[in-house]
Chain A
């Protein structure tokens, strides 16, 4: 069953209540006119939700199992603190996408802003085009795949996890080093690219890993 929820003129509490009711009915839900709502789809544990058009900030924060598709651009902090589930954005994502994630998958087909994937602790985050500055700051786990270019200070104080980048970076942050791709890395990237229909050759990617897991106090 598929349900449509028109959010125009509605507040978060009303839309959220309806959304949860539809999900309990095991319906796939399409939400329209929701760009004024911040924190939409917060903390959901299941369901398939499609957002038609652009979204507000904090879409899918604390998502714990639902699949959220955005047919437009996402506001700031999309997929914040994701623990399980999937967030797919057809357009661009504003500042701070996929921060503080523990697990799950985030795919942004377009560009993503500054501080994307900051403090990622275990999610797989794929960015189809370019990212801004300070991306993957203090990343503690998981994979970040950037098909395009990155700005300043990429991977600053990277502690654990991998950054794969197809383009160039303006500068690398502290505690990063570049490594060659292993056959396992290539297989992994091929899988992601096939899944998200990205026509690019994995072998041209560079891999960035942490120099040390303990870069702070001696």
Chain B
């Protein structure tokens, strides 16, 4: 392990008072015990950066904030376990007594779609389809067996639940407009419904739905969750389907967090809480003690919606086989399973980083559970969690999902730069902020234009990959269209390993 030369020491002369007034200050020279700094003809210079050990005492004491110490190599090589970020986290806890909270999702290496490749068609398989001159069926229908009004998504894509509160009104409206323009579904999340969402998502400018602006029209899913914020019979009927939230990828086992900084008067009114008070959704339903209770919830939600709307269930990444099996047995029409790379507006860092199952490890067991019940492709399966574009989406579909959700990617498509500070309420792009000045920076129609472009490009990617694999219907995609690049991924997913061209023996034994 390199100790010598492990750090870059940068002295910003424009800030250093000594460079302008020699002799005025030599604090860094005095405090550094390793003689990194010296006085040379009255000026402070870095005389031996190789001696720097990264203690940053110079940074701590510099009165003009003129020094930067950076690792010379990636920290996971040179300082792992004790990266600067880890050191600072411990300092934060020791100073405040509080754990870290943050937004966005899991950061760092996880088994993900990157270690899977798509297998194109050549001689040994049906020939490829022509992406430029032939069609590919992309429609996904939800609830055709049980609901009077099934949802017919034009693309195998949804915007998963992101609440009004976690997102600004403008961001929520942008998602609704994009859903209308692309024929997909958006989701209220658990923070109640924004007044315009139901008719914007259909493509109309007015509640009476007489003035159409956006075509072909999309769908709105309303979420039934543990905090029950803004929920009423009207709310349940405001959408085209109802999603029962059991968990989410970024913080399975915990309820939603909306920190007080984002609970404005408007949010407080919708949610029924005092302004500035944290809205902490319970981790479980107070009104569902058992699985039988969950089934009863599915039943009465069908009744309240007059048996017209599909019922959906969203699961966090826990025990995908058993959870998906139970969700299907509860009688829902669709199931979303959110892998641990899923996003959040606010979550304890330790939960986001360390709790759950990676998305690629959720899909195969979920598909097996539905297959074992004879319900695969009947109860629709949506994969969520860190899906970034058409390539990830295609892989999820080929693993057996019927559709995918873009949450974080949708925020980024609107302009987000993934700074992970969503929980603070100061989003400079107006996406996750409730501050009127910041919200004014996000024009819903302009953001919807970006979102629509992203969805169109992504759909084209899915179509291209499906067709070069020899398919003209996404329902035909299968594991045979994929290969794992390494043993780990092959073991997790059950895919054939590249080169070996078979599934790993442990999978063959498991299936026999």
Identify the A interface with B (CB < 8 A): 12-13, 16, 38-39, 42-45, 57-58, 61-64, 76-77, 80-81, 83, 95-96, 99-100, 102, 115, 118-119, 121-122, 137-138, 140-141, 159-160, 213-214, 216-218
- Could you list some 13 contacts between A and B, CB below 8 A? A12-B299, A13-B302, A13-B303, A39-B300, A64-B232, A77-B293, A80-B287, A81-B232, A99-B286, A100-B231, A138-B282, A159-B273, A213-B274
Identify the B interface with A (CB < 8 A): 98, 101, 227-228, 231-234, 236-237, 259-260, 272-274, 276-278, 280, 282, 286-287, 289, 293, 296-297, 299-300, 302-304, 307
Report chain A residues within 8 Å CB of B236: 43, 62
Q: Closest CB-CB distance, A134 to chain B, in whole Å?
A: 9
Q: Is the CB of A81 within 8 A of B289?
A: no
How far, in whole Å, are A100 and B229 apart by their CA atoms in the complex? 9
How far, in whole Å, are A137 and B280 apart by their CA atoms in the complex? 12
Q: Is the CB of B227 within 8 A of A58?
A: no
Report chain B residues within 8 Å CB of A100: 228, 231, 286-287
Question: Which of A12, A64, A99, A119 is B300 in contact with, Cβ under 8 Å?
Answer: A12
Q: Is the CB of A38 within 8 A of B287?
A: no
How far, in whole Å, are A159 and B273 apart by their CA atoms in the complex? 8
Q: Is the CB of B296 within 8 A of A118?
A: no
Report chain B residues within 8 Å CB of A140: 272-274
Q: Is the CB of B260 within 8 A of A217?
A: yes
Assuming the contacts A45-B233, A62-B233, A81-B232, asked whether A39 and B299 have C-beta atoms less than 8 A apart, the reply is yes
Q: Is the CB of A12 within 8 A of B277?
A: no
Report chain A residues within 8 Å CB of B287: 58, 76-77, 80-81, 96, 99-100
Residue in B273, B287, B293 whose Cβ sees the most chain A Cβ within 10 Å: B287
Report chain A residues within 8 Å CB of B280: 138, 216
Q: Is the CB of B300 within 8 A of A38?
A: yes
Q: Is the CB of B260 within 8 A of A13?
A: no
Question: Which of B231, B232, B234, B278 is A216 in contact with, Cβ under 8 Å?
Answer: B278
4 additional A-B residue pairs with CB within 8 Å, beyond A100-B231, A216-B277:
A38-B300, A61-B300, A122-B272, A214-B277
Q: Is the CB of A38 within 8 A of B299?
A: yes
Report chain B residues within 8 Å CB of A13: 302-303, 307
Q: Closest CB-CB distance, A76 to chain B, in whole Å?
A: 7
Q: Closest CB-CB distance, B161 to chain A, in whole Å?
A: 18
Shortest Cβ distance from B296 into A: residue: A38
Q: Is the CB of A217 within 8 A of B278?
A: yes
How far, in whole Å, are A154 and B272 apart by their CA atoms in the complex? 21
Q: Is the CB of A62 within 8 A of B101?
A: no
Report chain A residues within 8 Å CB of B296: 38-39, 57-58
Shortest Cβ distance from A77 into B: residue: B287
Question: Which of A12, A57, A119, A216 is B293 in contact with, Cβ under 8 Å?
Answer: A57
Report chain A residues within 8 Å CB of B237: 43
Q: Is the CB of A137 within 8 A of B286?
A: yes
Report chain A residues within 8 Å CB of B234: 64
How far, in whole Å, are A121 and B274 apart by their CA atoms in the complex? 10
How far, in whole Å, are A216 and B307 apart by their CA atoms in the complex? 40
Q: Closest CB-CB distance, A199 to chain B, in whole Å?
A: 32
Q: Closest CB-CB distance, B350 to chain A, in whole Å?
A: 15
8 nearest interchain CB pairs?
Answer: A39-B300, A121-B272, A43-B304, A43-B233, A100-B228, A213-B274, A38-B296, A216-B278
How far, in whole Å, are A214 and B287 apart by their CA atoms in the complex? 24
Q: Closest CB-CB distance, B285 to chain A, in whole Å?
A: 9
Q: Closest CB-CB distance, B195 to chain A, in whole Å?
A: 17
Q: Is the CB of B286 within 8 A of A118?
A: yes
How far, in whole Å, are A119 and B255 apart by their CA atoms in the complex? 14
Q: Is the CB of A214 within 8 A of B307?
A: no
Q: Is the CB of A76 within 8 A of B293?
A: yes
How far, in whole Å, are A203 and B234 apart by their CA atoms in the complex? 40
Q: Closest CB-CB distance, B306 to chain A, in whole Å?
A: 9
How far, in whole Å, are A45 and B233 apart by their CA atoms in the complex? 8
Question: Which of A57, A141, A214 is B260 in contact with, Cβ under 8 Å?
Answer: A214
Q: Is the CB of B304 within 8 A of A217?
A: no
Q: Closest CB-CB distance, A116 to chain B, in whole Å?
A: 10
Shortest Cβ distance from A141 into B: residue: B272
Q: Closest CB-CB distance, A144 to chain B, in whole Å?
A: 15
Shortest Cβ distance from B280 into A: residue: A216
Q: Is the CB of A213 within 8 A of B232?
A: no
Q: Closest CB-CB distance, A124 to chain B, in whole Å?
A: 15
How far, in whole Å, are A124 and B300 apart by their CA atoms in the complex? 24
